[in-house]
């Protein structure tokens, strides 16, 4: 039985916030973008752990040498083709100061095929132009710590038809050989296949450097000063302007026209499966996913873009995100999803965390938390092995502690306080980090 304090990598991607992670961790900002803090064993950013003897070792190496720390159920969830045992999930604190790339993640079969193709071409796993960095899918859930904005899934066809009906006169004047016919077909018959053809034409226009500036200028002029058909349109158009300021000349900035805009309050979460086009726009959240770093991008990024491959793996069905506040169970709030690899739960009060099987990661997000004999400050985490079946949790930050584990593996026994005793977790009703 063991649990270890973790030392986690922070990714300095350009879209990262310069101060949100520092606020969560209660430190002075370092003046550079801090985008994601990774907690897990993925080879592109494995955490380190501090052993009881005070040694610092890679979590990936620790699990590779002692796979029994994962338990049998977690071992069966390894990605296809991965022969080194590791955590089936990857936990992150995501802090976005500006919009992420417009992106999607492959399903497992697509990831396996894409990984094999790029290996056959001799593209190194860590090469900037590499798309498939592992053979796994990447279903994911983000739970807001602050107010959080994002884009997720294609809007319903009738909404897309109304949106592009208003843009049609200006787009028609561009007289693009692909865009014009695709737009007319979609407006006449708004179906999944005609939307797919229009979306692919928009992507092709974005790749055509001789045409891209005209497209951006034309769409920007159409939206400038327009309020659309109500508050939701105003919000979408505002985000288009914001993304154009962040990524000048990038057609990806118009994604709010065709993707659903969502806004989370602290404690609310959104789940999305593979093949769903999305982007997070601003805010801090706890993000959990299958153990993968496969990202296919179409815009709003300085990283590798492969529009053709993205279009090949996308689902073109409408997908409207459904924010959830989770389900309260005795002392816990569970954010259940269809994913087999993970479940995210939030501890609501002090007590004993009970784990039936598998590994877990405990993350403090607001104030100190004592996890057995470990003290976690806000923004710190601990790895818990399969053999550890219970940990006592207490401290002023206990009601903002998140746990990543296998689905259904976690339960909780709240501490029973004497009548009239002060509650150390009196802030349990407050969601998220302050």
The pLDDT, as a whole number, for residue 412 is 95
3-state secondary structure of 76: coil
Q: What is the pLDDT of residue 430?
A: 39
pLDDT of 1: 61
DSSP string, 3-41: EEEEE--EE--TTBBSSHHHHHHTS---SS-B-EEEES-
Q: Give me the DSSP letters along 395-423.
A: STTGGGEEEEESTT-EEEEE--PPTT---
Q: Which of 359, 357, 391, 360 is nearest to 374 (CA)?
A: 391
- Assigned token pair, 238: 């505002």
CB-based contact 192:317 (threshold 8 Å):
yes
Q: Which two tokens mark 200?
A: 């692919």
Range list of H helices, 135-207:
157-174, 179-188, 192-207
- Summarised one tens digit per residue, pLDDT across range 45-86 is 999 999 888 899 999 999 999 999 999 999 999 877 777 899
Residues in the chain where the model's pLDDT stays below 70: 1, 206-207, 225-231, 416-434
- In this predicted structure, what is the pLDDT of residue 79? 77
The pLDDT value given to residue 225: 64
* CA of residue 156 relative to chain centroid, distance: 23
Active site residue 108: no
According to the model, what pLDDT value does residue 418 have?
Answer: 59
**One of 297, 333, 346, 370 is an active-site residue; which one?**
297
Task: Classify strands 148-154 and 374-376 as parallel, antiparallel or unpaired.
Answer: unpaired
Q: CA-based angle 3:382:270, to the nearest 5?
A: 130
CA distance linking residue 239 with residue 37, whole number of Å: 26
* Predicted local distance difference test score (pLDDT) of residue 423: 52
pLDDT of 229: 60
Which three-class secondary structure state does DSSP give residue 302? coil
């Amino acid at each position: 039985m063991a649990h270890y304090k973790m030392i986690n990598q922070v990714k300095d991607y350009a879209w990262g916030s310069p101060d949100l992670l520092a606020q969560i961790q209660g430190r002075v900002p370092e003046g550079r973008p801090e985008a994601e803090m990774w907690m897990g064993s993925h080879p592109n950013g494995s955490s380190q752990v501090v052993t009881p003897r005070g040694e610092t070792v890679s979590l990936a190496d620790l699990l590779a040498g002692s796979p029994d720390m994962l338990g049998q159920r977690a071992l069966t969830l390894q990605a296809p083709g991965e022969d080194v045992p590791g955590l089936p999930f990857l936990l992150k604190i995501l802090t976005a100061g500006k919009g992420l790339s417009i992106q999607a993640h492959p399903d497992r079969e697509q990831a396996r095929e894409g990984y094999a193709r790029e290996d056959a071409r001799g593209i190194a796993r860590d090469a900037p132009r590499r798309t498939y960095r592992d053979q796994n899918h990447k279903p994911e859930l983000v739970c807001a710590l602050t107010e959080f904005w994002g884009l997720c899934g294609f809007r319903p066809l009738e909404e897309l038809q109304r949106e592009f009906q208003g843009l049609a006169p200006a787009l028609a004047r561009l007289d693009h050989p692909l865009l014009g016919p695709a737009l007319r077909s979609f407006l006449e018959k708004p179906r999944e296949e005609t939307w797919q053809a229009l979306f692919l034409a928009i992507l092709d226009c974005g790749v055509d450097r001789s045409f891209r500036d005209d497209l951006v200028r034309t769409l920007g002029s159409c939206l400038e000063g327009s309020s659309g058909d109500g508050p939701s349109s105003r919000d979408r158009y505002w985000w288009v302007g914001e993304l154009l300021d962040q990524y000048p000349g990038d057609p990806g900035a118009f994604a709010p026209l065709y993707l659903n805009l969502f806004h989370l309050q602290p404690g609310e979460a959104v789940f999305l499966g593979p093949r769903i086009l999305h982007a997070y726009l601003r805010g801090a959240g706890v993000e959990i996913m299958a153990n993968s770093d496969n990202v296919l991008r179409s815009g709003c990024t300085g990283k590798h873009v492969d529009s053709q491959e993205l279009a090949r793996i996308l689902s073109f069905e409408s997908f409207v995100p459904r924010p959830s506040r989770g389900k309260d169970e005795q002392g816990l709030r569970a954010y259940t999803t269809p994913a087999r690899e993970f479940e995210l739960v939030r501890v609501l009060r002090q007590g004993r965390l009970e784990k039936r099987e598998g590994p877990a990661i405990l993350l403090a997000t607001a104030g100190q938390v004592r996890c057995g004999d470990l003290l976690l400050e806000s923004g710190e985490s601990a790895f818990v092995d399969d053999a550890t079946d219970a940990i006592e949790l207490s401290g002023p930050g206990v009601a903002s502690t998140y746990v990543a584990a296998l689905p259904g593996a976690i339960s909780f026994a709240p501490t029973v306080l004497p009548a009239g005793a002060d509650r150390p977790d009196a802030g349990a009703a407050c969601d998220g980090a302050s």
